[in-house]
C-alpha cells in the first residue's frame, strides 16, 4: 500500500484553539484523516486529557495506529457513532468534513476524474456499494435525482440518461475516466476553470457515503455527548454541508416556544453560536484545497 500521499490540514491552529478549553478533558476528533488536528489537540492535553478519534477510512486508521499515546484511541467507524459515548462526557467535537487529499490523490480509490481508476468512491471500502455497483442497476430518475440534489448539476437528467444508455449498449461504467467522458458529453455549458465532471463526481461521492445524513446524525449526537461549555467545531467544504451545520446551530441557538401551548415554558436553547471563520489568503495561497472551507464554532449551553 502506498502511503506517501500527504494531507495539508486546513485551519489547524484556529480549529484547535477553538476546540480545546480544558486540558484535562475528553475530546473527539470525528475525522482523523492523517491526524493533523489530532496531533495538535494531543499536544494541548494534560495526562488526564483524552482524545477519541473516528475515521471510516482504513488508511487513516492505519496512520492513527502509529500514534502510541495512552491518551489516544481510534475507531474505524462512521462519526454518527459518536453518540455512543457517555452523555455529557466530551468537552469538544471536531468535524473536518469531506475527503482527505490522500483519498483524492490515490487513483485506486476512484474519487477523482483527474486519474484513471476503478469507480469506487467509498470512504470505507469494507462496507457498502461502490459507485460503479450502484450505477450498474440504478434507474435513470434515481441517478438524475442524486446528481441534481447533491451536485446542483443543471444537466443531471442528460448525464443520467447517458450513463444508462451506455450501460445498455456496452455494459456498466466501471472507471473514473469512462464516467468523466460520459459526463463531458452530456454537460452542454462549461463553467470557467471547472471540469464538467466536478458536480457529478461530488454528487455521487456524497450519496454513496451518505455524507449529509451522517453529518445530521453526528450533529444531533453532539447535543447529547457535549458537556455544558463544550465546543462544536465544524469545517465544511461545500454549501450543502455548510447549510446543514448553519441551520443546525441556528435551530438550537433559539429558545423554542410551542405556539399551541403559549403559556408553557420555552424549550431552552442548547447551543450558542460563537464564530464563523474562513482560511486566510496566505493559507489558501499555500493550500488551494482550503479555498472553500468555512469553519463554524458553537458552544453547548447548560439546559
Binding site for ligand SAM (CB under 6 A): 7, 9, 31, 33-37, 54-57, 60, 78-79, 96, 98-100, 123, 214
Total Cβ atoms within 10 A of residue 145: 17
Q: How far is the CB of 249 from ligand SAM (least distance, A)?
A: 19
Q: Cell numbers for 43, please give them.
A: 499536544
Cβ-closest position to ligand SAM:
33
Choice between 78 and 151, CB closer to ligand SAM = 78
Q: How far is the CB of 24 from ligand SAM (least distance, A)?
A: 23
Q: How far is the CB of 70 from ligand SAM (least distance, A)?
A: 21
Cα 33 to Cα 173: distance, rounded to the nearest angstrom? 29
Alpha helical stretches, state H, 226-267: 239-252
Q: How far is the CB of 33 from ligand SAM (least distance, A)?
A: 2
Choice between 127 and 276, CB closer to ligand SAM = 127
Return the DSSP state at 139. Answer: -
Q: How far is the CB of 38 from ligand SAM (least distance, A)?
A: 7
Cα 166 to Cα 172: distance, rounded to the nearest angstrom? 7
Q: Which residues pair with 226 in a beta bridge?
A: 90
Per residue, the 3-state secondary structure of 30-69, as one string, reads CCCCCCHHHHHHHHHCCCCCEEEEECCCHHHHHHHCCCCC
Total Cβ atoms within 10 A of residue 65: 9
Choice between 109 and 148, CB closer to ligand SAM = 109
Q: Cell numbers for 104, please give them.
A: 483524492
Choice between 19 and 164, CB closer to ligand SAM = 19
Choice between 112 and 183, CB closer to ligand SAM = 112
Amino acid at each position: 500500500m502506498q502511503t506517501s500521499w500527504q494531507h495539508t490540514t486546513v485551519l489547524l491552529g484556529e480549529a484547535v484553539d477553538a476546540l480545546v478549553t480544558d486540558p484535562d478533558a475528553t475530546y473527539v476528533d470525528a475525522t482523523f484523516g492523517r491526524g493533523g488536528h489530532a496531533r495538535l489537540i494531543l499536544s494541548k492535553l494534560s495526562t488526564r486529557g483524552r482524545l477519541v478519534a473516528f475515521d471510516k477510512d482504513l488508511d487513516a486508521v492505519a496512520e492513527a495506529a502509529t500514534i502510541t499515546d495512552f491518551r489516544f484511541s481510534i475507531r474505524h467507524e462512521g462519526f454518527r457513532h459518536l453518540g455512543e459515548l457517555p452523555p455529557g462526557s466530551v468537552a469538544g467535537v471536531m468535524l473536518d468534513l469531506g475527503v482527505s487529499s490522500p483519498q483524492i490523490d490515490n487513483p485506486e480509490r476512484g474519487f477523482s476524474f483527474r486519474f484513471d481508476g476503478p469507480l469506487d468512491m467509498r470512504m470505507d471500502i469494507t462496507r457498502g456499494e461502490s459507485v460503479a455497483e450502484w450505477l450498474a442497476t440504478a434507474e435513470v430518475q434515481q441517478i438524475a435525482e442524486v446528481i441534481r440534489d447533491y451536485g446542483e448539476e443543471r444537466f443531471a437528467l442528460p448525464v443520467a440518461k447517458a450513463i444508462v444508455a451506455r450501460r445498455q449498449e456496452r455494459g456498466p461504467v466501471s472507471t473514473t475516466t469512462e464516467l468523466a467522458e460520459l459526463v463531458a458529453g452530456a454537460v452542454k455549458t462549461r463553467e470557467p476553470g471547472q471540469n464538467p465532471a466536478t458536480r457529478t463526481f461530488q454528487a455521487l461521492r456524497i450519496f454513496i457515503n451518505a455524507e449529509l445524513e451522517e453529518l445530521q446524525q453526528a450533529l444531533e449526537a453532539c447535543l447529547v455527548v457535549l458537556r455544558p461549555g463544550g465546543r462544536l467545531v465544524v469545517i465544511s467544504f461545500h454549501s450543502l454541508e455548510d447549510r446543514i451545520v448553519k441551520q443546525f446551530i441556528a435551530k438550537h441557538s433559539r429558545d423554542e416556544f410551542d405556539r399551541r401551548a403559549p403559556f408553557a415554558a420555552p424549550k431552552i436553547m442548547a447551543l450558542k453560536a460563537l464564530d464563523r471563520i474562513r482560511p486566510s489568503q496566505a493559507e489558501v495561497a499555500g493550500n488551494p484545497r482550503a479555498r472553500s472551507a468555512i469553519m463554524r464554532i458553537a458552544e453547548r449551553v447548560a439546559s
